[in-house]
Amino acid sequence: MRQALQNQIVVPRRTERRFYGHGIPRVPSEELAGRLIVVEGADGSGRSTQIAMLVQWLEGCGHATVQVGLKRSTLVSEELETAQEGNILSRTTLSLFYATDFADQLENIILPALKAGFIVLADRYIYTLMARDMVRGMDEAWLKNLYGIALVPDAVFYMNVAPEELVQRNFAKNAALDYWESGMDLGLSRDMFDSFMKYQDDMQKTFRRLQATYGFTIVDGMRSAEATHAELQKKIGAVLAGK
């Protein structure tokens, strides 16, 4: 925490921002002074722990932060939750529902916060949404168009943890596997454990494919939280300095 002890607060350098596609109507991207940092990874990959540590560190350095994540919009989060409980929506519908949730947060939280110069920490972003849909057989070009509204983040970290380890961490935390995180809707296996392993393996493969397009940083999530945090600190420090 050397930076935090120095009394000098670093002002993030401005960079040219852009959207993956056309973006949001009437949002000039040069007005967005803040930074968008994304942490991706499966449940149990250490995402939330890392985000909590980043908030501590960034605030210590004098930066204001805002957090966003999936299924947290005012507009549709409750309805999405209910839809998932009953598993009643088909895949295109669910996909668009999630996109609505994302767009609502993008326009009402992410963009205003960036305009005000905040550092936005996203606990998962469009990549998880795309990977989930791709594993379910949806068209990649369709998804790319859909998420053309999304802002290109300043940094994306993907927490890579082997499915065997994810299982252990999920059991240590909840003593149960989540229906959706096990991909049970796909009918890969009636056995939840088998399904979880297969699904997470598919998700990792898909993430690696997406990595080739979107170029995010793959972080080894098998190490201690502190070791991972040190790496993220270094990389985010470089982003803030405009390197």
Partner 1 sequence: MKTFAELNFPGRLVAVEGLDGSGKSTQIYLLKRWLELQGLKVYFSEWNSSELVKSATTKGKKRELLTPTTFSLIHATDFADRYERHLVPLLRAGYLVLCDRYIFTAFARDVVRGCPPEWVRGLYDFAALPDLTFFFKADLEVSLQRILEGRPQLKYFEAGMDLRLSTDLYESFRIFQGRMLEQYLAMSTEFDFLVMDANQCIENQQAVVRQLVSQRLDLDKFHRVERPPQRPVTKKAPKRVKVEEPVE
78, 193 contact by CB (below 8 A)? no
Residue with smaller CB distance to partner 1, 103 or 219: 103
* CB of 68 vs partner 1, minimal distance in Å: 15
Distance CA(12)–CA(241), nearest Å, equals: 6
Q: How far is the CB of 133 from partner 1 (least distance, A)?
A: 12
Q: Which is nearer to partner 1, 24 or 52 (CB)?
A: 24
Give CA–CA dist 71/17, Å, rounded: 25
CA distance 37 to 124: 10
What's the rounded Cα separation, in Å, for the pair 52 and 65? 11
- Applying CB under 8 A, which residues contact partner 1? 21-22, 24-26, 74-76, 79, 82-83, 88-93, 95-97, 99-100, 103-104, 107, 139, 142, 145-146, 148-149
Give the C-alpha separation, 125 to 158, whole Å: 11
Q: Least Å distance between CB 105 and partner 1? A: 10
Q: How far is the CB of 19 from partner 1 (least distance, A)?
A: 11
By C-beta, is 25 or 215 nearer to partner 1?
25
Identify the three-state secondary structure at position 240: helix
CB count, 10 Å around CB of 86?
Answer: 7
Residue 62 or 148: the one with the smaller Cβ distance to partner 1 is: 148
Smallest separation (angstroms) from partner 1 to the CB of 115: 15
Which residue is it, tokens 């040219």? Answer: 16
Q: What angle do CA 130, 133, 136 make, to 5 degrees?
A: 150
Quote the least distance from Cβ 7 to partner 1, whole Å. 41
Distance of CA 53 to the CA centre of its chain: 16
Minimum CB distance to partner 1 smaller for 27 or for 222: 27
Q: Which is nearer to partner 1, 43 or 79 (CB)?
A: 79
